[in-house]
Amino acid sequence: MEVQVFGVRKSATTRAALRFFAERRVRTHFVDLLDRPASPGELRRFVQKFGAGALVDRDARRFADLGLAHTRLSDERWIEKLAVEPLLVRMPLVRCQQRLTVGLAEDEWRAWVEADHSTPG
C-alpha cells in the first residue's frame, strides 16, 4: 500500500496524516504544495468526487487575505485558483489508488489500511 499526501509541512492536519501513515508503516509520497503545487488535473480528480467547495479552506488566513469570503466561482475557476494558491487548499489531500480524502479523515484511512492488511498479497 502506498498513499500520496498533498499538503504543507506547517499544516497540523498534514503532519497528523503523515504521522498516521508512518505509525502504520504505510509507504507515503509527500507532495509539499509550496514546493510543487497540485496540478489542475490532480485537483480536478478531488473536485469530481467532493466538489470544489470541499477543497477550499475558508478558515485559512490566505482565504481572508485574498478577500474571497463573498466570491462565487465555478468549479473550474476554483481549480485554477487552488493550483496557484496552495494555501487555500483544505489539507491534506490524500490519494490511495482511486480512493481520495480531503482534510483529516483518520477513520477512512484506517479502513484503507485494514482492507489492505486483510488482502493476501
Please give the pLDDT value at position 71.
87
Every domain of the chain and the residues it spans = 2-118
pLDDT at 117: 78
Gap between the Cα atoms of 7 and 115, Å rounded = 25
**pLDDT at position 74:** 93
CA distance 15 to 7: 9
pLDDT tens digits along 52-110? 999 999 999 999 999 998 888 999 999 999 999 999 999 999 999 999 999 999 999 99
pLDDT score, position 116? 84
pLDDT tens per residue, range 6-42? 999 999 999 999 999 999 999 999 999 999 999 999 9
Q: How far apart are CA 24 and CA 39, in angstroms?
A: 28
- Classify domain 2-118 at the CATH superfamily level: Glutaredoxin (3.40.30.10)
Q: What is the pLDDT of residue 121?
A: 55
Closest CA to 40 of 52, 58, 28: 52
**Do the beta carbons of residue 38 and residue 83 sit within 8 Å?**
yes
